[in-house]
Chains A and B, each alone.
Chain A
Amino acid sequence: MELTTLEAVPGKTITRHLGLVQGSTVRSKHAGKDILAGLKNFVGGELKSYTALLNESRAEAVERMVAQAKAVGANAVVNIRFSTSNIAAGAAEVMAYGTAVVLS
């Protein structure tokens, strides 16, 4: 499965266009980690546990998007975009979406 933010994959041609595929996940912050992060807040800086959490979520969102693309018979997803939104206190949605295509 070829994943790219470009509109096309260099050196290959798109033979079929299979539409939008997306994957998303909602994760909440770990309460214990949240307290630690709260303490960390007095000195500022990177909140490593959140960075790891959101990276994990993004990997899962991509996985789900890839599963959807496979289900429609694609072998690549082009024009991929990510977005993160804060949907409730302590919970964030991470989404990945793109266009499923068949490359030759």
Chain B
Amino acid sequence: MEVLVQIVVFVVLLAIGWFAGRANEKRHFRELAEHEAKLREILVFNERRPPADRAFARGVLVVGSVVIAEDYFKRIAAGLRSLVGGRITVYESLLDRGRREAIVRMKEEASQLGATMIFNVRLETASLSEDTSGRSPMFSAEFIAYGTALVPAPGA
């Protein structure tokens, strides 16, 4: 009986993860595509020096960050995948979402300042799911994108 209850709970959680998680991911990718198209004019470089032949009024530190977590389905799928090794596609899409979202947020901040370029951009990922208690918690990670937004000098 107890085993049956456990199996039912597991299947329900898996179903929630599969349906809700997928819907979430689809919506997120759609929103990302929209935002990225809107912010296309802002150029992002990881080059360390801005071009010397352009005049800039000021440079402002801009940061975008997001904490993103896996769903139950991804967790189980990744667990099964790691038995045989290879690409864990469920995590690839999750990390892609996080990183793109962080970049979008950084660009949004830059666009509010009237900047046209962001230089010396750095990307960081920090896993937040390590647990000392031994049980493995759900995976979540913070993604940060930061750089210096350059506002063009008037008339430049």
Contacts and interface: CB of A to CB of B under 8 A. Distances in A.
A10 B21 contact: no
Contacts of B71: 41-45
A103 B138 CA distance: 47
Contact of B24 (A2, A45, A81, A89): A45
Nearest to A10: B56
A30 interface: no
Contact of B130 (A38, A58, A89): A89
Interface in A36-50: 37-38, 40-47, 50
Contacts of B8: none
Interface in B32-74: 48-50, 55-56, 59-61, 63, 65-72, 74
Interface residues of B, number: 49
A84 interface: yes
B127 A86 contact: yes
B131 A10 contact: no
A41 B63 contact: no
Interface string B75-112: 00000000000000000001000000100000000000
Given A5-B146, A10-B56, A44 B24 contact: yes
A8 B50 CA distance: 10
Contacts of A86: 126-130
Contacts, number: 129
B133 A89 contact: yes
7 contacts: A6-B48, A43-B21, A45-B25, A46-B101, A82-B144, A84-B144, A89-B131
Given A6-B49, A43-B17, A92-B128, A82 B68 contact: no
Contacts of A38: 138
Contacts of A84: 124, 126, 142, 144
Given A2-B59, A4-B60, A46-B101, 16 more contacts: A3-B60, A6-B59, A11-B55, A41-B69, A41-B70, A44-B17, A47-B68, A50-B128, A51-B66, A54-B65, A62-B61, A82-B124, A86-B129, A86-B130, A89-B132, A92-B128
Contacts of A92: 126, 128, 142
A37 B69 contact: yes
A44 B69 contact: yes
Interface string B7-38: 00000010011001100110010000000000
B115 interface: no
Contacts of B146: 5, 80, 82
